[in-house]
Amino acid sequence: MPELTLSELDSTGSTVNELLIHVVGLGVKENVKLDQETQDILNQADCVMGSVRQLETVADYLDASDNGQVSGYRQVLPPIKELKARFESFKQDGKNNIVVLASGDPLFFGIGGWLSRHFDAKQLRFTPAVSSVQAACHKLGISLQNAQVVSVHGRPVETIRRHLQANKTLVLLTDSNSTPQVLAKECIDAGLSQSKLHICEAIGYQQEKLSHFIAADLVELKSLVFDSLNVVVIETSNQTSFFPEFPGIEDEKYITDKGDGKGMITKRDVRLSILSLLQICDTDVVWDVGAGCGGVAIEMSYWHEKAHIYAVEHHLGRQECLSANRTRFGVMNNLSLVSGRAPESLLTLPKPNKVFIGGSDGNLDSILSHVWQTLDTNGVLVASAVTENTKLALQQFFQARLEAGDAETESKQVSQSKLDLLAGQQVYRPSLPVTLFRFRKLN
């Protein structure tokens, strides 16, 4: 989305006044006290936008500023999807000095992030204040640098699962769907039933309240109602969590089409080799073609929250398992499911810089051709082969890259044997070897 420019030409070719947006943090107090500089910002504004509660918080200052003379001086902040259009209307109406109210620190899980993505930095002025997260940590004596802040506000509550490991301090920004009881159940389901939950309600208001629970106890208090303005701090227990802290998720933890861990997933040892070849980074856009039940796609999404993974699968049963695993591991925010066959299903996807091909349904040649044309210089393609037919196709592609001199190439074979019992005796049963190919595009 293009940035809104600092100044533009009107229909006659002359320059119109620049649009300037002041983002004012109000802190977490019921009766905010603004310094003179911030009061001057309100006095000079053409419009002040905020939630109903925020506008009420500064009502006395606004009454002193508008004098009933400026039409639309105070406005309720619209839904985020309508915000760009609202700013466009301000420009058309000649309103060039806008104030946006924020609850605390506008650039910490606040509206400031959206504004920074859509406006030039020269158009923005920020006045920060203490955030609810900071206030909660001070109430509880928790050093913020030792905690992890997680927002489940407007997000599926299951996204907390990627953070539910033992001995962690989580500070959660919540909404009506992520009540303390719901969060307690997430702890219990993760195997962390003895985790401590601290609920900080209505911080800075007269009804402010701090309460403390063990997850196993809180989940039973279904009738207990908390103020909707709350921050929940979870100190996870020293128990073994279902959710991993290191790459290499056990096969048995995946939901598959043939029983947990036994269906169409890339097994752990091979999966780790694939992850090491791909080397996912936070800024990556990755295609997982033939994702099966999601072995590789889940690991990529789980460990790299800011990367975006597109898992392509056409088999309906495996799609259902892939979707279930996506929820099980809480990776809905950055793992997109794509139903369909490749390469046709790839045509409308965002351009990747890394691709893994784990399955092709007989279309490997056309998939390889499409992917290689799509990748830019330094793009990475990793593919796996179990059958001789797939291996032959990849070897031919490998040879073509060598002859063209357009790739940095690597290949290895991964095999494993697992301990089992045969007639009461220990034996190692070998799995089929998997051949991996890696190509980094040079030009």
pTM (predicted TM-score)? 0.87
Per-residue pLDDT at 224 exceeds 90:
yes
Structure confidence at residue 157 (pLDDT): 97
Structure confidence at residue 71 (pLDDT): 62
CA 295, 300, 302, 307 torsion: positive or negative? Answer: negative
Residues 310-350: tens digit of each pLDDT: 999 999 999 999 999 999 999 999 999 999 999 999 999 99
Residues 99-149: tens digit of each pLDDT: 999 988 999 988 999 999 999 999 999 999 999 999 999 999 999 999 999
Structure confidence at residue 70 (pLDDT): 54
Per-residue pLDDT at 174 exceeds 60:
yes
**Residue 38: phi, psi to the nearest 5?**
-70, -35
Range 186-213 average pLDDT: 96
Length of the chain: 443
Per-residue pLDDT at 259 exceeds 80:
no
Contacts of 82 (CB under 8 A, 6+ apart): none
Structure confidence at residue 10 (pLDDT): 40
Structure tokens at 103: 């609850």
Integer-rounded Cα radius of gyration of the chain? 27
Spatial separation of the C-alpha atoms in residues 137 and 38, rounded to whole Å: 26
Q: What order of strands is seen across the sheet that includes strand 407-414?
A: 335-339, 308-313, 285-289, 354-357, 380-385, 434-441, 407-414
Residues 306-316: tens digit of each pLDDT: 999 999 999 99
Spatial separation of the C-alpha atoms in residues 309 and 301, rounded to whole Å: 6
**Residue 377: phi, psi to the nearest 5?**
-55, 135
Residue type for position 306: K
Structure confidence at residue 317 (pLDDT): 93
Q: Which band of pLDDT confidence, cut at 50, 70 and 90, is reported for residue 13?
A: very low
3-state secondary structure of 394: helix
Range 348-358 average pLDDT: 97
Residue 94, number of CB atoms within 10 A of its CB: 9
Per-residue pLDDT at 69 exceeds 80:
no
Residues 379-406: tens digit of each pLDDT: 999 999 999 999 999 999 999 999 999 9
Pairing type for strands 380-385 and 209-214 reads unpaired
Residue type for position 421: L
Residue 174, number of CB atoms within 10 A of its CB: 23
Structure confidence at residue 66 (pLDDT): 59
In terms of Cα–Cα distance, which of 416, 95, 32, 92 is closest to 75? 95
In terms of Cα–Cα distance, which of 268, 265, 269, 317 is closest to 288? 265
Q: Which band of pLDDT confidence, cut at 50, 70 and 90, is reported for residue 443?
A: confident
Spatial separation of the C-alpha atoms in residues 95 and 20, rounded to whole Å: 9
Q: Alpha helices, DSSP H only, in 283-328?
A: 295-303, 316-328
% of the chain with per-residue pLDDT over 70: 94
Structure confidence at residue 36 (pLDDT): 92
Per-residue pLDDT at 370 exceeds 60:
yes
3-state secondary structure of 184: helix
Residue type for position 136: A
Spatial separation of the C-alpha atoms in residues 103 and 55, rounded to whole Å: 11
Burial class (CB in 10 A: 0-12, 13-18, 19+), 313: buried
Range 16-34 average pLDDT: 85
The angle that helices 59-66 and 36-44 make with each other, rounded to 10 degrees, is 50
Range 205-219 average pLDDT: 96
Structure tokens at 10: 């009107």
Structure confidence at residue 17 (pLDDT): 62
State the chain's mean pLDDT as an integer.
91
Range with lowest mean pLDDT among 83-97, 282-296, 364-378: 83-97
Residues 422-435: tens digit of each pLDDT: 888 999 988 889 99
Spatial separation of the C-alpha atoms in residues 378 and 359, rounded to whole Å: 23
Q: Which band of pLDDT confidence, cut at 50, 70 and 90, is reported for residue 67?
A: very low
Contacts of 118 (CB under 8 A, 6+ apart): 1, 3, 4, 84
Per-residue pLDDT at 30 exceeds 90:
no
Residues 272-296: tens digit of each pLDDT: 999 999 999 999 999 999 999 999 9
